[in-house]
Chain A
Amino acid sequence: MKKEHKHVKSNKKYGMVIDLDKCTGCGACMVSCMAENNVPFKADESNKLDSITWMRVYKLTNDKPYPDTEICYLPRPCQHCEGQHEGHSPCVSVCPATATDYSMETGIVSQIYTRCFGCRYCMAACPYHARYFNWWDPVWPEGMEESLNPDVSVRMRGIVEKCSFCFHRYQRAMEKAHFEDRHELEENEYQTACTQACPSGAITFGDLNNESHAVYKLKKNPNAFRLLERLGTNPKIYYVSSREWVRLAGDNYRPDEKMTAKHKPAKHAPAKQH
């Protein structure tokens, strides 16, 4: 079935390169994402299992005793996995409701809230915990709904949501392009809220297939890696770290596990592109 689809030209593949050497863990990406995407909030958000954060910054440590301890922050949006063949991402392939979809045009994994019926199969399938379930109806205390962004629809109880690569910003940029009789976007015209917000410039966003975009080059950095690469999810978020333990943590090797030559970070080559 999927093969019939080959005629659609996969012309764009949006993705990110996040420089962990630059990330300071300030959380501007998280908050910018919440504000941009009408993410709800409740009185207690300290249980991170039910706290909806499309973008979440994890704190990693090298587990070495004082004073050799090191910390690294790792921002984790939806990885927009492409899977082993085009669009076979873990979540899209299991959704029984066609609520989550993979676009061959942009490489973005979409989530249509009104289509989702909340079975959470996708959450079980996602190895990155990038998907969140609305256990409660979102409540904006009186007056606070004023700051809601009309470009993003508000979700309701009982459905799953996740990072969309700020697709509405793509739509917004395309509207302007259409108005100006253009059909292609400049690199800076479509940037996600987290990319824009990062005060350290750690996040770079663009079309991984486009040679003129910064991400095209950055992803080829010998220190680039992706999360849980050996699962074959083929994610579109690349991380760069000059520290080996961080790169190792990215593939979550257990201490007792032997690394295969293929996965040894030292010889790590950027993943193949389609």
Chain B
Amino acid sequence: MKIDRRSFLSLGIGAGAGIALTPLPWKLADDSSIWTQMWPWTPVPARGEATYVNSACSLCPGSCGISVRKIDERAVKIEGMEGHPVNDGGVCPIGIAGLQLLYGQTRVKTPLKRVGKRGEGKWQKISWDEAISEVSSNLAELRKSGNPQSLACISGSGRYGTVSGLFQRFMTAFGSPNFMSVPSFVDGYSMALKQMHGIDSIPGFDFENSDFILSFGSGIIDGWGAPVRMFKANANMKGKIVQIEPRLSNTAAKADKWIPIKPGTEAALALGLAHVIIKKSLYNKDFISKHSFGFDDMTGTDGKKVKGFKSLVMEKYTPASVARITDTSAEMIEELAVSFAKASSPLAVCGRGKGTAQGSLDEYIAVHALNALLGRVNTKGGVWAVEQPNYISWPYPDMDKIAEKGFASARIDGAGTDEFPLAGQLAHRFVNAVADAGRKEIPVEALLIEGANPLHQFSDTKAVKKAFSKIKFIASFSSYMDDSAQFADIILPNHCYLERYEDIPAPAGLQKPVIGISRPVVAPKYNTLHSGDAIIRIAKALGDKIESSFSWDSYEACLQATFREAWSKLDSVGFLINQKYGAPGWDQFETESKLFEFISSADGAKTGRDKDEIVNIADIEGKGDKKYNLTLISYDSIRLASGSVGNTPFMIKAVADTILKENDIFVEINPKTAKDAGVKEGAKAVLTTPKGSANVRVHLFEGIVPGVIAMPRGLGHTGDDKYLSGKGVNVHDLIGPVEDPASGLDAAWGIRAKLAKA
């Protein structure tokens, strides 16, 4: 028997034939096709029981109610909560994408202590006990040296709520007056209300009952106020919306009429409209004669004649002169004034973009006076002075001698001092006071940052960074590794907003007092601690009277004790609302005259006002400098989160390619401006302002006033994840604050700039 080549061949053929007669090839083909359809590395989400948990969103001042869909213990979708007084089932893109914050890459997972240089990103994981004692021992030093006022706190949590309340209480008991919230248009508007209505209140706008909304640059559908409420009000609007703004924003595009004006001249236009209304006698005579003060000229107690609102407006704000100031036409002003005055429920609103800048007091006064002229204050469909939430009734903190002395010292930012009596807080002045201080006289030695991202949110980030680098000890309570947390010495990470309880009072711009409640949707994922608990523990660790001011065992105990019998309703329903709350009415003025005051009856000198001027608005930086031939303004988009947290991956995905291309940000300019600057669509350019310069790309847009450059706000983050960090430019790098002479507020709305081909 010979075994040759053929035998092997035969063996192979036999084997082949045999295999074909077995299930092997057919089964393998089937299985491998299944395998290729389901790569093992493609995640398969686990199935389970679906439930919904109601909570509240705290990603912006809108405070919407949300309903989170869960599969077993996983949160899989955020939807709007039906029946909620703010958003009734509606939801905005930032809110929907919130789960990417909860599960995202930016979470700080455990307390961290800096080991490298500031901002270098080298951290050491520490325990909560170590973190609390690290903070308390650092702070104790300040009290030991008799300088408790050198502790400052920047809070971004809902104002009037328990978390910011606890931090504020801590500051008081510790002995420092230097507590501040992140800036908002509410700062300026409340100041105007204080002056004209005489009460501490917050502005509420009854959009739902108005039939003519005249917006002085407010981004009604760009994220102003409570965004979802505004979207709904806009969609259900039966009347007219007129948008006054230098750029064709989404609000302007959706409005019945867009009136492009020279940026920064809104107040003058408001008074121009007032002029026409007075001249044509279209104002509300009943309100003016019975409920207002300072409309007509008057004689002061010293016998001197004082000009009233009417005279001031009639003299200085003729349509022709206003048209010149604002780059509009006198006919337009006349026409607009008449149609506005003749509407049955007209309402003028202000606060640029999302309303995240303080703005100038006189602008609020001018717009509010326009409302008052038509009797649109404290009335249905008008603007109301809504009472500040005051459900916190904790006993005043115990203070020892050190605390009393420290707390009595003047605020670093000058707010509430003789210079700026009406101001509650002036963040930009705080920043400058620290940044400009000499080495030995730095007024702030320690800083607590809670719920805020000042290194991104505050204007002139260079100065903020300079100020922060002079502060010896910075503790961040951020849930995320944001720009400011990156620059801290210690991070005490808060639970994510979907993991914690927190009361959220007073949604911005709402005319009804609403208190929402954020409830834990999922259990805390990491080794984090509620900031309320953290500050209670720090207070306890400091001992003395500070400890006795924080008698609660935990934040949750504090929260329940604060709401007392209302707690169970708040927790189960998700919000508290005073349904009976209506327009406050015309008898609710607490000024000296008990009337609405166009001109303050109190000592006008206090407000630093030139009595012959109604509006006295600071020029923006760089004006008069011939180098800068253009004006840079920032603009807001609902697709760009610009609060303490930035865009999540889904949100960045929704940003148009005319705003962001790879890492390049686009600025919008009119084709005419582009021609003058010699740049084309998409061209790279260098944008320079007195505050700095940045590489940008150019997007030509017909919807912008020539000579103006518009840059979106919310990009240029240095912290966070690869989906956000390093993309675009932070417009706050280029725009610095401008002090409002009347109030000390940061009145900046832009800056002079130049654009050169790169």
- Contact surface of A with B, Cβ cutoff 8 Å: 22, 24-28, 30-32, 34-36, 38-39, 41, 43-48, 51, 53, 57, 59, 61, 63-67, 69-73, 114, 137-138, 140-150, 153-157, 193, 196-202
Choose among A22, A69, A150, A199 the residue that contacts B45 (Cβ–Cβ < 8 A).
A150
Beta-carbon contact of B43 and A148 below 8 Å:
yes
Given A138-B42, A199-B235, 17 new contacts (CB under 8 A): A26-B250, A28-B93, A31-B650, A32-B91, A35-B99, A36-B77, A39-B650, A51-B653, A61-B703, A66-B702, A66-B703, A71-B253, A141-B105, A145-B43, A149-B71, A200-B234, A200-B235
Choose among A27, A137, A196 the residue that contacts B639 (Cβ–Cβ < 8 A).
A27
C-alpha gap A31/B639 in the complex (Å): 10
C-alpha gap A63/B96 in the complex (Å): 33
Interface centre among B75, B100, B672 (most CB of A within 10 A): B100
C-alpha gap A21/B562 in the complex (Å): 45
Beta-carbon contact of B260 and A66 below 8 Å:
yes
* B46: Cβ under 8 A from any A Cβ: yes
Residues of A within 8 A of B248 (CB): 69, 71
In the complex formed, the residue of A with least CB distance to B653 is A45
Beta-carbon contact of A200 and B97 below 8 Å:
no
C-alpha gap A143/B649 in the complex (Å): 14
**Nearest chain B CB to A42 CB, angstrom units:** 8
**Nearest chain B CB to A230 CB, angstrom units:** 28
Beta-carbon contact of A66 and B706 below 8 Å:
yes
Given A145-B45, A154-B42, residue A47 in contact with residue B657 (CB < 8 A): yes
In the complex formed, the residue of B with least CB distance to A30 is B654
C-alpha gap A269/B409 in the complex (Å): 74
Beta-carbon contact of A27 and B722 below 8 Å:
no
Residues of A within 8 A of B39 (CB): 137, 156-157
**Nearest chain B CB to A57 CB, angstrom units:** 8
> In B60-110, which residues have CB < 8 Å from any A CB?
71, 74-80, 87, 89-93, 96-97, 99-100, 102-105
**Nearest chain B CB to A112 CB, angstrom units:** 10
C-alpha gap A77/B599 in the complex (Å): 55
Residues of B within 8 A of A47 (CB): 657
* 9 closest Cβ pairs, A-B complex: A148-B45, A199-B231, A199-B90, A114-B37, A71-B253, A31-B93, A200-B235, A69-B702, A41-B649
C-alpha gap A16/B313 in the complex (Å): 52
Choose among A25, A44, A69, A145 the residue that contacts B250 (Cβ–Cβ < 8 A).
A25
In the complex formed, the residue of A with least CB distance to B73 is A146
Beta-carbon contact of A147 and B42 below 8 Å:
no
Beta-carbon contact of B42 and A70 below 8 Å:
no
Given A41-B723, A67-B260, A141-B105, residue A197 in contact with residue B654 (CB < 8 A): no
Residues of A within 8 A of B131 (CB): none
* B193: Cβ under 8 A from any A Cβ: no
**Nearest chain A CB to B691 CB, angstrom units:** 26
C-alpha gap A53/B721 in the complex (Å): 21
**Nearest chain B CB to A131 CB, angstrom units:** 17
Beta-carbon contact of A137 and B103 below 8 Å:
no
Beta-carbon contact of A59 and B232 below 8 Å:
no
C-alpha gap A256/B661 in the complex (Å): 32
C-alpha gap A48/B221 in the complex (Å): 24
* B517: Cβ under 8 A from any A Cβ: no
* B497: Cβ under 8 A from any A Cβ: no
Beta-carbon contact of A61 and B702 below 8 Å:
yes
Given A24-B221, A196-B79, residue A46 in contact with residue B660 (CB < 8 A): yes
Beta-carbon contact of B704 and A28 below 8 Å:
no
C-alpha gap A47/B662 in the complex (Å): 8
Choose among A24, A137, A155 the residue that contacts B234 (Cβ–Cβ < 8 A).
A24
* B178: Cβ under 8 A from any A Cβ: no
Beta-carbon contact of B92 and A34 below 8 Å:
no
Beta-carbon contact of B657 and A46 below 8 Å:
yes
In the complex formed, the residue of A with least CB distance to B71 is A150
Residues of B within 8 A of A70 (CB): 253
C-alpha gap A66/B661 in the complex (Å): 25
In the complex formed, the residue of B with least CB distance to A34 is B650
In the complex formed, the residue of A with least CB distance to B654 is A27
12 sampled A-B residue pairs with Cβ under 8 A = A28-B91, A41-B650, A41-B723, A59-B656, A59-B658, A67-B703, A71-B248, A147-B75, A149-B77, A154-B43, A196-B79, A197-B80
Residues of B within 8 A of A157 (CB): 39
Residues of A within 8 A of B704 (CB): 66
> In B653-674, which residues have CB < 8 Å from any A CB?
653-658, 660-662, 670-672
Residues of A within 8 A of B651 (CB): 27, 31
Residues of A within 8 A of B45 (CB): 38, 145, 148-150, 154
Beta-carbon contact of A150 and B46 below 8 Å:
yes
Residues of B within 8 A of A140 (CB): 43
Beta-carbon contact of A24 and B99 below 8 Å:
no
Beta-carbon contact of B705 and A66 below 8 Å:
yes
In the complex formed, the residue of B with least CB distance to A25 is B250
> In B187-235, which residues have CB < 8 Å from any A CB?
221, 227-228, 231-232, 234-235
* B624: Cβ under 8 A from any A Cβ: no
C-alpha gap A101/B671 in the complex (Å): 46
Residues of B within 8 A of A154 (CB): 42-45
C-alpha gap A26/B250 in the complex (Å): 9
Choose among A28, A63, A114, A150 the residue that contacts B92 (Cβ–Cβ < 8 A).
A28
Interface centre among A22, A45, A154 (most CB of B within 10 A): A45
* B47: Cβ under 8 A from any A Cβ: yes
Residues of A within 8 A of B706 (CB): 66
**Nearest chain A CB to B126 CB, angstrom units:** 22
Residues of A within 8 A of B234 (CB): 24, 200
C-alpha gap A28/B94 in the complex (Å): 8
In the complex formed, the residue of A with least CB distance to B724 is A43
Choose among B232, B253, B723 the residue that contacts A43 (Cβ–Cβ < 8 A).
B723
Residues of B within 8 A of A51 (CB): 653
Beta-carbon contact of A53 and B653 below 8 Å:
yes
In the complex formed, the residue of A with least CB distance to B725 is A43
Given A72-B253, A197-B96, A199-B228, residue A35 in contact with residue B650 (CB < 8 A): yes
Beta-carbon contact of A199 and B232 below 8 Å:
yes
Interface centre among A38, A39, A43 (most CB of B within 10 A): A43
Beta-carbon contact of B670 and A147 below 8 Å:
no
C-alpha gap A28/B79 in the complex (Å): 11
Write the B381-398 contact mask toward A (1 if CB under 8 angstroms, else 0).
Answer: 000000000000000000
> In B619-660, which residues have CB < 8 Å from any A CB?
638-639, 649-658, 660
* B48: Cβ under 8 A from any A Cβ: yes
> In B678-711, which residues have CB < 8 Å from any A CB?
701-706
C-alpha gap A154/B96 in the complex (Å): 19
Beta-carbon contact of A199 and B92 below 8 Å:
yes
Residues of B within 8 A of A147 (CB): 74-77, 99-100, 102-103
Given A27-B639, A66-B703, residue A156 in contact with residue B76 (CB < 8 A): no
Residues of B within 8 A of A36 (CB): 77
In the complex formed, the residue of B with least CB distance to A49 is B657
C-alpha gap A143/B258 in the complex (Å): 45
Beta-carbon contact of A144 and B253 below 8 Å:
no
**Nearest chain B CB to A145 CB, angstrom units:** 4
**Nearest chain B CB to A161 CB, angstrom units:** 13
**Nearest chain A CB to B384 CB, angstrom units:** 23
Residues of B within 8 A of A39 (CB): 650
C-alpha gap A34/B100 in the complex (Å): 11
> In B535-553, which residues have CB < 8 Å from any A CB?
none
* B254: Cβ under 8 A from any A Cβ: yes
Beta-carbon contact of B43 and A41 below 8 Å:
no
C-alpha gap A114/B652 in the complex (Å): 29
* B38: Cβ under 8 A from any A Cβ: yes
Beta-carbon contact of B232 and A200 below 8 Å:
yes
* B581: Cβ under 8 A from any A Cβ: no
Residues of A within 8 A of B8 (CB): none
C-alpha gap A148/B705 in the complex (Å): 44
C-alpha gap A146/B638 in the complex (Å): 26
Residues of A within 8 A of B93 (CB): 26-28, 30-32
Residues of A within 8 A of B260 (CB): 66-67
In the complex formed, the residue of A with least CB distance to B702 is A69
Choose among B48, B97, B639 the residue that contacts A26 (Cβ–Cβ < 8 A).
B639
